[in-house]
Amino acid sequence: MASSLRTESLSKRYGALLVTDSVSLDIKEGELHAIIGPNGAGKTTLINQLSGELASDSGSIWFDGAEVSRLPIHERARRGLLRSYQITSIFEDFSVIENATFSALASRRHAFSFWQPMAADSQATKAAVEALKAAGLDARMEVTAGDLGYGERRQLELAMSLAAGPKFLLLDEPMAGMSVQESASVIALLQQLKRQYTILLVEHDMDAVFALADRISVLVYGKILFTGTPDEIRNHPEVRAVYLGEEEAEA
């Protein structure tokens, strides 16, 4: 299976603090790859480096066969490397379909073209409708975004990323702050999206991680401790000791 995203010795330092330390990843096309680790492990910094929000001090990032280490966030997004739940901004006074259509338009031409009639771009409208269906919001298209519940807002953020035509989705804690029922809905949604997109998931909900991931990388103090399948992660003695804990690993 071909690599979709690969990093080589990726590092980021803040003064004397080395936040990511020679991180090397190889994420295969069509894979859902999870990053787990304790608080302060460097997970958010790593996501920021991959998306282009944060410049790395050393190392390289390869996406879809090309080096993108020095490309800004918008150029990476146009190539299909999209970070959800962070780069999308919901327009509270616009409808759900208008928000998704704007995202589709912004990925196809300059965002200021938004001020042209959105309905005139049939491709963008079609992409928006398909994305909302995929995200489970097809029955809520005409609802004003500001009236959505918390879980639905996260679904809309994901739909906006899908409408932009991604090849690779960076998901940073998509279930944070959700109820058990809302988390279950997002897990079911991501199960449907697997194989349609390559996905890197950073998530604290271990039930979600083990239900979704093809492979998991454990990040500790900025370093990759181990990468393996969910079963390999559960049974790895160092991972059990430093992160999962004996009780959780045996649950």
Bigger pLDDT: 67 vs 122? 67
Residue 12 has pLDDT above 70, yes or no: yes
Q: Which H or E run contains 163?
A: helix 150-163
Query: How many Cβ atoms from other residues are within 10 Å of residue 54's Cβ?
Result: 17
Q: Which two tokens stand for residue 121?
A: 């771009």
- Report residue 120's pLDDT band, with 50, 70 and 90 as the boundaries: low
- DSSP H helices in 109-149: 122-134
Bigger pLDDT: 248 vs 217? 217
Residue 69 has pLDDT above 70, yes or no: yes
Which residues are paired to 36 by β-bridges? 218
Residues carrying CATH 3.40.50.300, the chain = 1-80+167-251
Residue 248 has pLDDT above 70, yes or no: no
CATH, domain range 1-80+167-251:
3.40.50.300
Q: Please tell me the distance from the alpha carbon of residue 57 to that of residue 63, in angstroms, as a whole number.
A: 18
Q: Which of 28-32, 65-69, 89-93 has the lowest mean pLDDT?
A: 89-93
- DSSP H helices in the chain: 43-51, 73-78, 96-108, 122-134, 150-163, 180-193, 206-212, 230-235, 237-239, 246-250
Q: What is the pLDDT of residue 117?
A: 56
What type of residue sits at position 4? S
**Residues 90-111, mean pLDDT to the nearest whole number:** 83
Q: What is the pLDDT of residue 100?
A: 94
How does pLDDT run across 179-235, given as a tens digit for each residue? 888 888 889 889 988 888 999 999 988 889 999 999 999 999 999 999 999 999 999
- Report residue 111's pLDDT band, with 50, 70 and 90 as the boundaries: very low
Q: Return the percentage of the chain with pLDDT > 70, whole number.
A: 89
Q: What is the pLDDT of residue 168?
A: 95
- Report residue 19's pLDDT band, with 50, 70 and 90 as the boundaries: very high
Residue 242 has pLDDT above 90, yes or no: no
- Report residue 251's pLDDT band, with 50, 70 and 90 as the boundaries: very low
Q: Please tell me the distance from the alpha carbon of residue 156 to that of residue 85, in angstroms, as a whole number.
A: 9
Q: Please tell me the distance from the alpha carbon of residue 171 to that of residue 86, in angstroms, as a whole number.
A: 9
Kindly report the average pLDDT of the chain as a whole number.
87
Phi and psi at residue 16, in whole multiples of 5°? -85, -10
Q: Return the percentage of the chain with pLDDT > 90, whole number.
A: 59
Q: What is the pLDDT of residue 72?
A: 93
| Alpha carbon distances (Å) from 181 to 98, 156, 184 | 27, 17, 5
